[in-house]
Amino acid sequence: MVSGLALGCVYGLIALGYSFLFNAVGLINIAQGSFVMLGAYVYGVWFTNQFHWPFIPALAALIVIMGLFGMACERFFYRPFKRAHLRTVLVSLVALGILLGNLALIIWDPYPKGTKGLFGQTTLRVGGMAIFYQSLFIIASTVLLLIVQHWLFKKTTIGKVMRAVALDKDTAALMGIETDLAISLTFAYSSILGGIAGMLVAPIFSIEPFLQVIGFKGFGACIIGSFSSITGAMAGGLMLGVVETLGSAYISSLYKDAIAYAFIIAFLIFKPEGLFGTRSEESGL
């Protein structure tokens, strides 16, 4: 159950990444899963395994690199397509996902890797159950991150600028806000979120290009919760994590993914705005 919550937190973080970009530019970043994978690789393989940096500097470096990467993606994969049809952008994002997966294969070799993480495999024993410390860490850091995020967006100028652009790009532009920069920063932030999700996940999963598919689950979490609200995205993630774990325990472990996706699809059909969203223009054709 706890692992379900932890898994849900991770999905929630990824969902947040989607949510921000959606709110800012109306774009669903299909390649978000690849960001998570990259984060896992960069943090797990480079910083921890190869360079052996302690946690705080590694985290800081991860944030910087993922941020820059996000901005680069914006420059090359979003800006040129701004005026193109949405369909084109989606396809190019699919291509980006494939590209990143293949590049990860080339840069790091295809062997799956493991990394220790802060807590290794230690567990807390509570009344017959064993809980990974890492799971608790994930939950705790997610909460911390949400708090930081709340502060960032409500109190700082950058945050306010990003929110303004997310709410209404054109008006913000009229007010003299540099929308391009704000969008760039939003990409960076989404990418950082993805990277942190990757970092949290790296010790409990294995680090391999296949990790990309977690992006689909995160996307599903967004659908369940809602794209437009932060609580929605997180809640969606948690629900998905719990449903998946419980479904696997009580229904069938083999069809676990199928169950999770069926759940998502059901939401798509019956309640596309998610539990917390409002019926608005969907990003679509």
Partner 1 sequence: MTQSCGRWMSRMAVVALVAGTVLALAVPASAGEKVFKIGGLAALQQGFGRSMQSGAQIAIDEINAAGGVSGYKMQITWLDDETSPATGRTLAQRLIFNDKVDAILGCHASTVVLATADLMAQNQILDIAMGSAQKVTELNNPWIVRVRENDLLTGKVLANYMVDKAGLKKIAIIYMSEQYGMGGRDNLIAALAAKNMKLVAAEAHNQGDKDFSSQLLNVKKAGADGLVLISGVPDLGIMVKQARQLIPDVKIFMSSVGATKPFMDVAGEAANGTFAVVTYTEDNPNPMVQKFVQAFKAKYNAPPYDFFSGLSGSACENAGCVQRNQGLQRRDRPDLRCGQGRGIGARTPANHVREHEAQGGCEGQRQVVLSAQTLRTGEHASGMFPRFAHRESGSYGMGNPVSADGVRAGAGLRVRPDRPRV
Partner 2 sequence: MNTHRIRNGIVVALFAFLALVPTYVEAPYVIFVLNVTCINIILVLALNFILGYAGQVFLGTIAFFAVASYTHALLFAKLGWGFWPSLPMSIVVTSVLSLLIGIPTLRVRGAYLALMSMGFIIVVGDVIKNWMSFTGGVWGVPNIPRPDIGTFTLTSNLHMFYLCLALALALAWLSLLIEDSRYGRAFKAVRDDQLAVEMVGVSSTYVKVLAFVLCGVYTGVAGSLFASFNVYISPEIYSFNYNSIFLCMLVVGGLSSVPGSVLGAILLTAAIEVLRPLKEKYLTPLALLIIIILLFEPAGLVIFIERAVAALRKFIPGKRLKEARRG
Q: Which residues bind partner 1 (CB under 8 A)?
A: 3, 7, 49, 105, 109-114, 116, 120-121, 123, 130, 132, 204-206, 208-210, 213, 244-245, 248-250, 253-254, 256-257
Question: Given the complex with partner 1, which of 149 and 248 has the nearer CB atom?
Answer: 248
Question: Given the complex with partner 2, which of 32 and 191 has the nearer CB atom?
Answer: 32
- Provide the minimum distance between the beta carbon of 277 and partner 2 in the complex, in angstroms, as a whole number: 12
Query: Residues near 274 by Cβ (< 8 Å), separated by ≥ 6?
Result: 222, 223, 224, 225, 226, 227, 232, 236, 267
b vs e for 198-229, b when ≥16 Cβ sit within 10 Å of the residue's Cβ? bbbbbbbbbbbbebbebbbbbbbbbbbbbbbb
Give the residue from 246, 249, 2 showing the smallest Cα distance to 124.
2
- Provide the minimum distance between the beta carbon of 119 and partner 1 in the complex, in angstroms, as a whole number: 12
- The separation between the first and the last C-alpha atoms of the chain, rounded to the nearest angstrom, is 39
Question: Given the complex with partner 1, which of 115 and 141 has the nearer CB atom?
Answer: 115
Three-class SS state of 285: coil
Q: Which residues bind partner 2 (CB under 8 A)?
A: 28, 30, 77, 80-81, 84-88, 90-92, 94-96, 98-99, 101-103, 105-106, 110, 216, 219-220, 223, 254-255, 257-258, 261-262, 264-265, 268-269, 272, 282-285
- Provide the minimum distance between the beta carbon of 214 and partner 1 in the complex, in angstroms, as a whole number: 8
Question: Given the complex with partner 1, which of 67 and 208 has the nearer CB atom?
Answer: 208
Query: Residues near 158 by Cβ (< 8 Å), separated by ≥ 6?
Result: 152, 185
Which amino acid type is present at position 199? M
Q: Which does 90 bind (CB under 5 to 8 A by kind): partner 2, partner 1, none?
A: partner 2
Contact 96, 82 (CB under 8 A): no
Q: Which does 54 bind (CB under 5 to 8 A by kind): partner 1, partner 2, none?
A: none
Q: Compute the distance between CA of residue 56 and CA of residue 124 in angstroms, rounded to an integer.
A: 24
- Provide the minimum distance between the beta carbon of 55 and partner 2 in the complex, in angstroms, as a whole number: 33
Question: Given the complex with partner 2, which of 91 and 130 has the nearer CB atom?
Answer: 91
DSSP 191-210: HHHHHHHHHHHTTTS-BSGG
Q: Which does 268 bind (CB under 5 to 8 A by kind): partner 1, partner 2, none?
A: partner 2
- Provide the minimum distance between the beta carbon of 19 and partner 2 in the complex, in angstroms, as a whole number: 13
Question: Given the complex with partner 1, which of 60 and 120 has the nearer CB atom?
Answer: 120
Contact 220, 59 (CB under 8 A): no
